[in-house]
Chain A
Amino acid sequence: MPSESNQALIERWKDEPAPLLPLLHAFHNRDGYLSDDAIKAVSEGLRIPLAELFGTVTFYHHFSREAPGKAAPRVCTGNICCLHGGDELLESLKDKGATPMPCAGRCDDMIPVIIGDKAYVGLAKDSLEHRATPVPAPNPGGSSECLFAHIREEGRNTLPGYRATGGYSALEKTLKDSTPEALIELITDSKLAGRGGAGFPTGVKWKAVADAPGDPKAIVCNADEGEPGCFKDRAIMDHDPFAVIEGMTLASFATGAPLGFIYLRYEYPETERLLEDAIEDARASGLIGENILGSGHTFHLYVRRGAGAYICGEEGSLLNSLEGKHPFPRNKPPFPVTHGYNDKPTAVNNVETLASVPHIVENGAEWYRDLGEGDHAGTKLISLSGDIQRPGNYEVPIGLPLSTLLYEWAGGPKEGRTVQAVTMAGLSGGFIAGEDLDITLDEPSIRSKGSFLGAGGIMVFDDSRDMVKAAHDAMNFFAHESCGKCFPCRIGTQRMTERLGGEANTLEPSAWIAEIEDIGSTMMSTSACGLGMAAPHVTKSLMKYFPEQVEAFLAKG
């Protein structure tokens, strides 16, 4: 089949909402890389200044500028994959043009390798296999679940299967009998809060969007699951995609938004097709689009695929990315609830948050609140990985003791080993170790130790691991993903990485420590977004829990 012309690709996308990313992907798919010619054509087609577009293209890790480009293997060298030999696998694939990629969100499996639009996993180059996202194991604690309540049921990710297991009754019920105000009240009452990590009350956010002037409003599902050690959103989208779509449709009804996007990370290519198909099936059944189920409510939903940038999980960057701008974070205020997509009121919610909504509508606010332990409301998905017997996604009641999850649910560390440290919030929360491991999985408990639960990624490091190296790998990730806008993060992550990598060991230990502390303090206090504010958790916790390892590292000179 002859490949499509530049003009044909531009014509197909230029009048669509948020056209830049899909158009760039169309060229990237066609040619395998983004040639000068392609960038010029897109610049003209979408009327974006050429220098600006060129700069934006180079921002994204996965857009190749030359052959073999997209066809070359990208090997995960995230923290957990490095424990499993990610660097060696990368080396063995170098003759095929392999390049490293940051955590690709498959830490519960073997090392992921993305080739074209397929994600393989394996430990050696000859044994890579293409296989589906693991279904979460049955809840080991026997506790009541929300998100995973139906996810293991056969066919749940098809529309008939979803409906057969209770899907879409929440939307039907709401459109028939309820009002946007009542829905917002229900969600507020449930105490559902942002599960991407920020923990902002979902009902309050929706009300702010509903009340804000400006049209068209939008719902954006943040599926840019880029936090290392987090792979929960992929499990939801792959095995329960309609819960996300139904949740978004309910959010659109609550806020009066006729437009929605799922901003999906590049590293989940199979998920993109699955979501596209699911949306198409929902549209064909009148569950999305114009006049949903005869209610008069309209909601158009689009999938937009990112191109490899952790910062695009930050809502301001995400919105800039959707709008085709350079994906720097935005200055706040104003917040997206008043100035979001195209400066219109926008609710940006995480996959997990949105997928919880149909269950809450179905079972009630009180039911959801009661899922948590004690005074804590609801559940949280935890992506557990690293040196642990049974890595995977677990839906825990908020407030569950960490030790219960680690030892009773996930089988504890590998034979003969002990847990040396765990990370919190993927990497952003730094490490927790020693007596502080005696925490419960809720923000107040974890914050009292100077960390936070965030998106719920927990990596386990056993007593055989070098924690300075773990901290270096973590900081290296933040340096790689720093957008380059604000000074403290742009320079700070670099200097921290150099120091943790032994490039400044000529300093006196006291000077080394003072530099790390001063950079960390200034980054935490003055960075423009969460990336720079959170990254010093890594060094702070390293020094707090492992001063003797730091000392030994510095003594090596």
Chain B
Amino acid sequence: MTEHRSDLAEQKLSTLTLDGELVEFTKGETIYEIANRHRKEVPTLCYDERLEAFGACRLCVVEVEGIRNPVASCTTAATDGMVIKTSTEAIEKHRKTLLELVASENRNVDVNALSGYSSQEMTILVDRYSARTGRFSGKQSGTSNTGDKNPFILRDYDNCISCYRCVRVCAEREGDYAINVMNRGFHTQIITEFNNDLRDSNCTFCGQCVQTCPTGALGDKKALRDADTEGEIKKTRTICPYCGVGCSVDMLSKGDKIVGIQPAMDGPANEGALCIKGQYAFDFIQNDDRLAKPLVRREDGELHECEWDEALDRAAEGFKKVKDQYGRHAVYGIASGRAPHEAAYTMQKYIRATYGTNYIDNCSRS
């Protein structure tokens, strides 16, 4: 027990010098994690905190005393006594050069924010480092696959910077292994097996690749339908109603219109993950085919539009008859996954309180 305590004490005593300040850290932390904790704003493009650090973009390099070359802070574990400088003149120059290089290989630096959750990352960094200089111009990398017929994911690889966040999120988080890297060097290209369309691959259209893409090379096709719709993008935090997992989502709207859905990276149940339904299946909400008024079946056997009073009376009459004739357990309520949470709550309250039965369920539960 004593020994265990001294271990803990020792662990707590691990310190390093970060930009001149002595800071504590826990064994196993990377330099980037520590710097981030101390709000150092170390830039990255290939980093996604949910994924294994990869070390591709090299923007997060920092100087460590005693090591000749700068080290990638995302892949370097901190050690006791390290002396780290996160933002020297030389480091900032390398970062600017790297951003100029990356900007030079793409068709666009600016992409619509509806493309995806991380889609503005590169733009923001390029501007932060004033890297719209047009230097290093030359061939563009990546070949867009805009012919991919799927209705969800835009594959505009002319804007790809080969950070492989999409490949890694697909493997590490979703476990689909649907996409990978073809060729090498400047000719790397994100592909499915045999370079086919996504729908012919293992892809489940969860959209996680889209949401982690830092350049909008992968874009949310459904949200981008409203790229030109007037209005600011408003985000409303809610919970996906489709199933019992409880994924947090941000519903994107412009004016009165719901234009897209993004997973909440801080959602405790999903940490940025969604499934195809939670991500893309929201068109029904504002669909023209939705009923605007209740319908009742009249004596002619046809459904007719009516006022709420008539509809509710008819429903109550039917329920009452069943309950009186067969007892309270003859009623079984099934709420729709497409209904709002408030409606689902009211539904179970109604079934329990009105009939005295617990026969209440939701279509998404099973």
Given A486-B55, A487-B57, is A504 in contact with B137 using a C-beta cutoff of 8 Å? yes
Whether B56 contacts A54 by the Cβ 8 Å rule is no
Whether A528 contacts B55 by the Cβ 8 Å rule is yes
Whether B180 contacts A55 by the Cβ 8 Å rule is yes
Collect the chain B residues with CB atoms within 8 Å of residue A528's CB: 55-56, 58, 72
Whether B58 contacts A527 by the Cβ 8 Å rule is yes
Collect the chain B residues with CB atoms within 8 Å of residue A519's CB: 97, 101, 136
Whether A331 contacts B101 by the Cβ 8 Å rule is no
Contact indicator per residue, chain B 62-102, by CB within 8 Å of chain A (1) or not (0): 00000001101001110000000000001001100110011
Collect the chain A residues with CB atoms within 8 Å of residue B183's CB: 58-59, 484
- Chain B nearest CB, measured from A474 CB (Å): 15
Collect the chain B residues with CB atoms within 8 Å of residue A518's CB: 93, 97, 135
Whether A526 contacts B70 by the Cβ 8 Å rule is yes
Q: Categorize the interface residue count of chain A.
A: 35 or more
- Chain B nearest CB, measured from A62 CB (Å): 13
Collect the chain A residues with CB atoms within 8 Å of residue B195's CB: 54
Is B182 part of the binding interface, using a Cβ–Cβ cutoff of 8 Å?
yes
Q: How far is the CA of A436 from the CA of B269 in the complex (A)?
A: 64
Q: How far is the CA of A341 from the CA of B335 in the complex (A)?
A: 54
Whether B101 contacts A484 by the Cβ 8 Å rule is no
Whether A526 contacts B184 by the Cβ 8 Å rule is no
Collect the chain B residues with CB atoms within 8 Å of residue A403's CB: none
- Chain B nearest CB, measured from A325 CB (Å): 11
Q: How far is the CA of A488 from the CA of B59 in the complex (A)?
A: 10
Q: How far is the CA of A522 from the CA of B100 in the complex (A)?
A: 11
Whether A50 contacts B193 by the Cβ 8 Å rule is yes
Q: How far is the CA of A52 from the CA of B201 in the complex (A)?
A: 12
- Contacting B at CB under 8 A, from A471-507, are 479-488, 490-495, 498, 503-504
Whether B70 contacts A490 by the Cβ 8 Å rule is no
- Chain B nearest CB, measured from A164 CB (Å): 46
- Chain A nearest CB, measured from B33 CB (Å): 15
Contact indicator per residue, chain B 26-59, by CB within 8 Å of chain A (1) or not (0): 0000000000000000000100000001111111
Is B350 part of the binding interface, using a Cβ–Cβ cutoff of 8 Å?
no
Q: How far is the CA of A533 from the CA of B58 in the complex (A)?
A: 13
Is B104 part of the binding interface, using a Cβ–Cβ cutoff of 8 Å?
yes
Is B179 part of the binding interface, using a Cβ–Cβ cutoff of 8 Å?
yes
Whether B58 contacts A52 by the Cβ 8 Å rule is no
Please tell me which one of the listed residues B58, B76, B139, B177 contacts residue A486 in the complex, with CB atoms under 8 A apart: B58
Whether B177 contacts A484 by the Cβ 8 Å rule is no
- Contacting A at CB under 8 A, from B133-169, are 135-139, 141, 161-162, 164
Whether A51 contacts B101 by the Cβ 8 Å rule is no
- Contacting A at CB under 8 A, from B165-222, are 171, 177-188, 191-195, 201-202
Whether B139 contacts A494 by the Cβ 8 Å rule is yes
Given A51-B201, A52-B177, A519-B136, is A487 in contact with B98 using a C-beta cutoff of 8 Å? yes
Is A36 part of the binding interface, using a Cβ–Cβ cutoff of 8 Å?
yes
Q: How far is the CA of A524 from the CA of B138 in the complex (A)?
A: 21
Collect the chain B residues with CB atoms within 8 Å of residue A480's CB: 185
- Chain A nearest CB, measured from B220 CB (Å): 22
- Chain B nearest CB, measured from A191 CB (Å): 23
- Chain A nearest CB, measured from B31 CB (Å): 13
- Residue of B at shortest CB range from A532? B58
Given A51-B179, A54-B182, A484-B187, is A491 in contact with B58 using a C-beta cutoff of 8 Å? no
Given A51-B202, A504-B138, A515-B135, is A36 in contact with B97 using a C-beta cutoff of 8 Å? no
Collect the chain B residues with CB atoms within 8 Å of residue A486's CB: 55-58
Whether B184 contacts A59 by the Cβ 8 Å rule is yes
Collect the chain B residues with CB atoms within 8 Å of residue A55's CB: 180-182, 191
Q: How far is the CA of A49 from the CA of B171 in the complex (A)?
A: 10
Collect the chain B residues with CB atoms within 8 Å of residue A527's CB: 58
- Chain A nearest CB, measured from B273 CB (Å): 19
Is A333 part of the binding interface, using a Cβ–Cβ cutoff of 8 Å?
yes
Whether B162 contacts A490 by the Cβ 8 Å rule is yes
Whether B101 contacts A492 by the Cβ 8 Å rule is yes
Collect the chain A residues with CB atoms within 8 Å of residue B75's CB: 331
Q: How far is the CA of A533 from the CA of B72 in the complex (A)?
A: 14
- Residue of A at shortest CB range from B136? A495
Whether A493 contacts B180 by the Cβ 8 Å rule is no
Collect the chain A residues with CB atoms within 8 Å of residue B53's CB: 331
Is B105 part of the binding interface, using a Cβ–Cβ cutoff of 8 Å?
yes
- Chain A nearest CB, measured from B140 CB (Å): 10
Collect the chain A residues with CB atoms within 8 Å of residue B192's CB: 51
- Residue of B at shortest CB range from A49? B177
- Chain A nearest CB, measured from B337 CB (Å): 31
Collect the chain B residues with CB atoms within 8 Å of residue A521's CB: 93-94, 97
Given A495-B104, A504-B137, is A331 in contact with B186 using a C-beta cutoff of 8 Å? no
Whether A51 contacts B138 by the Cβ 8 Å rule is no
- Chain B nearest CB, measured from A263 CB (Å): 18
Is B126 part of the binding interface, using a Cβ–Cβ cutoff of 8 Å?
no
Q: How far is the CA of A56 from the CA of B70 in the complex (A)?
A: 30
Is B61 part of the binding interface, using a Cβ–Cβ cutoff of 8 Å?
yes
Given A487-B161, A526-B69, A528-B58, is A51 in contact with B180 using a C-beta cutoff of 8 Å? yes
If over half of B's interface residues share one DSSP class (helix, strand or loop), that class is named, otherwise mixed; here it is loop
- Residue of B at shortest CB range from A481? B185
Whether B105 contacts A491 by the Cβ 8 Å rule is yes
Contact indicator per residue, chain A 37-68, by CB within 8 Å of chain B (1) or not (0): 00100000000011111111011000000000
- Residue of A at shortest CB range from B183? A58
Given A54-B180, A515-B135, is A488 in contact with B69 using a C-beta cutoff of 8 Å? no
Is A525 part of the binding interface, using a Cβ–Cβ cutoff of 8 Å?
yes
Whether A487 contacts B58 by the Cβ 8 Å rule is yes
Please tell me which one of the listed residues B76, B102, B182 contacts residue A487 in the complex, with CB atoms under 8 A apart: B102
Is A232 part of the binding interface, using a Cβ–Cβ cutoff of 8 Å?
no
Whether B186 contacts A479 by the Cβ 8 Å rule is yes
Whether A526 contacts B185 by the Cβ 8 Å rule is no
- Residue of A at shortest CB range from B187? A484
Whether A533 contacts B69 by the Cβ 8 Å rule is yes
- Chain A nearest CB, measured from B197 CB (Å): 13
Is A326 part of the binding interface, using a Cβ–Cβ cutoff of 8 Å?
yes
Whether A525 contacts B138 by the Cβ 8 Å rule is no
Collect the chain A residues with CB atoms within 8 Å of residue B186's CB: 479, 482, 484, 490-491, 493-494
- Contacting B at CB under 8 A, from A308-327, are 309, 311, 326
- Residue of B at shortest CB range from A511? B135
Whether B56 contacts A495 by the Cβ 8 Å rule is no
Given A487-B98, A491-B104, A526-B69, is A498 in contact with B139 using a C-beta cutoff of 8 Å? yes
Q: How far is the CA of A519 from the CA of B182 in the complex (A)?
A: 25
Whether B58 contacts A526 by the Cβ 8 Å rule is yes
Whether A52 contacts B94 by the Cβ 8 Å rule is no
Collect the chain B residues with CB atoms within 8 Å of residue A503's CB: 138
- Residue of A at shortest CB range from B175? A49
Please tell me which one of the listed residues B90, B98, B181 contacts residue A488 in the complex, with CB atoms under 8 A apart: B98
Whether A485 contacts B56 by the Cβ 8 Å rule is yes
Q: How far is the CA of A477 from the CA of B58 in the complex (A)?
A: 22
Whether A54 contacts B194 by the Cβ 8 Å rule is yes
Whether B102 contacts A331 by the Cβ 8 Å rule is no
- Chain A nearest CB, measured from B288 CB (Å): 39
Collect the chain B residues with CB atoms within 8 Å of residue A487's CB: 45, 56-59, 98, 101-102, 161-162
Q: How far is the CA of A522 from the CA of B171 in the complex (A)?
A: 31
Whether A515 contacts B185 by the Cβ 8 Å rule is no
Given A498-B138, A525-B69, is A491 in contact with B101 using a C-beta cutoff of 8 Å? yes
Whether B138 contacts A495 by the Cβ 8 Å rule is yes
Q: How far is the CA of A547 from the CA of B104 in the complex (A)?
A: 27
Collect the chain A residues with CB atoms within 8 Å of residue B105's CB: 491
Closest 3 CB pairs of A and B: A49-B177, A55-B180, A484-B188
Instruction: List 16 interface pairs A-B (beta carbons < 8 Å), by A numbering.
Output: A39-B194, A51-B202, A53-B193, A55-B180, A59-B184, A326-B181, A331-B55, A331-B75, A486-B58, A511-B135, A515-B136, A518-B93, A521-B93, A522-B94, A526-B94, A528-B55
Known A479-B186, A491-B104; 14 more pairs at CB < 8 Å:
A50-B177, A54-B180, A54-B182, A58-B182, A331-B75, A482-B184, A482-B186, A483-B185, A487-B59, A494-B186, A504-B137, A515-B135, A526-B58, A526-B70
